[in-house]
Amino acid sequence: MGEKERKLFLISFSATIIIVSAKLNLNPVILMPGDGGSQFKAKLNKPSVVKWYCDRKTDDYYDLWLSLKQIEPLAVTCFVDNMRLVYDNETRTTHNSPGVEILIPGFGETETVEWLDDSDYFFTKYFHDIAKAMVSWGYERNVTLRGAPYDFRKAPNELHDFLDNVKSLIEETYYKNNNNKVVLLGHSMGNPVTLYLLNHMTSAWKDKFIKSFISLAGVWGGAAKPIRLMVSGDNLHVPLVHPINVRREQRSTPSTAWLMPSDEFWGPDEVLVVAPTRNYTVRDYKQLFRDIDYETGYMMLEDTHRLIHPLRAPGVEMHCLHGVNVTTPAVFVYDNKTWHDKWPAALPDNGDGTVNIRSLLGCLKFRNQQKQPVHHHTFHAAEHMEILKRTDVIEYLKNVLIGQKKAVEKLIRFYFENVRKVCEIDTNT
């Protein structure tokens, strides 16, 4: 081997080592989905059905959420009965509708949080754009990029098994990726769920296993919108679905109660609901649930409203990202005698279309509670779901997740420049 060839070999070999090292040193990421952000499969053996055309029994699991077939106008009544929860007044816990088994597929993987339907139809896209971008940066699905789907109908007081599994997933991912600390990337309700987990872990554990916590559209103090789900139902922009037809399922889920406005963020005299006979504030929840004839809702609120409140810092470096300047419901106005069965008018607020601005800004409370930095960045007109595919948001994630890799790439370019110079010198001689 001549002098020129030897130099080329050494430089190329060094560059290869750097590239491999950069890939090994990626901080792995676990995606924490929000309300509605995990696929559900169901198997039926029901004692009865709500409509004659609903399936009573199935031989195997089928797609329940989010299957577009299940929310078609005729099928939605069957869907609601299979998706709803039943509250036990004695144990203060919920269980599935009688005869319904629910399976949450894909724990540890990304497919079932990238898409909410096996068809990969654009309407059911969730974390896919972020995952696709991360793969282009050098991440590998189910290795350095993982997902933690869960039963989003429930609040953390009923998610102990899931949270134990997430803890194990974090540790497993850390050890399988060259002992690189893990980044937790949450969306919407996935962020208070993640905060609940971190609040229950020791500082030593977090220092060892967690690199940072990235929050997209975090619901830190609840939001007004879940009140409408409880009172009137909400079709969540699904065409041909009437809100009242899905209310039975929506109000049966403890997570809906958990995400109602917190008295840590809304004052005792701020009106949230205007009804024909009276107004309601955060002080009037008990009366509100009594007046809509759903006192179970107040019991679920009692079970959940102090799970993360008063807010306590996660104790890890944090990036808090959310949209602003999107019209967001603030107060619901009803003007009919049977008001809670009707669709209300909504008075507007600032926010991301789903979460009110005061709740989105809740992460700023952490700055005075922990030594680790809390980075805050807003995105103009980034709607609650649209934030998952905004190019400026994805670019921010890229800078956070692979900033070190960029420095390595710069070093690699320096090496190859030297290769060119060696070639020029040898050619001239």
Catalytically active residues are 188, 352, 384
Q: How many CA atoms lie within 13 A of 314 on its CB side?
A: 30
Torsion sign across C-alpha atoms 7, 10, 15, 16: positive
Position 177, amino acid? N
Distance CA 428, CA 424 (A): 6
Total residue length of the chain: 429
Whether the Cβ atoms of residue 269 and residue 378 lie closer than 8 Å to each other: no
**Residue with token string 């050098």:** 138
DSSP state of 406: H
Judged by DSSP in three states, 331 sits in: strand
User: Distance between CA atoms of 341 and 247, rounded to whole angstroms?
Assistant: 10
Nearest Cα to 352, choosing from 325, 331, 376, 390? Answer: 325
CB-based contact 360:217 (threshold 8 Å): yes
CB proximity list for 389: less than 8 A, separation 6 or greater: 125, 129, 130
* Strand 345-349 relative to strand 328-333, pairing: antiparallel
What does the block give as tokens for 130? 């972020």
Question: Residue 397's beta-bridge partner residues?
Answer: none
CB 247 within 8 A of CB 229: yes
Structure-token match 């350095």, residue found: 144
The answer to whether the peptide bond before residue 229 is cis (omega within 30 degrees of 0) is no
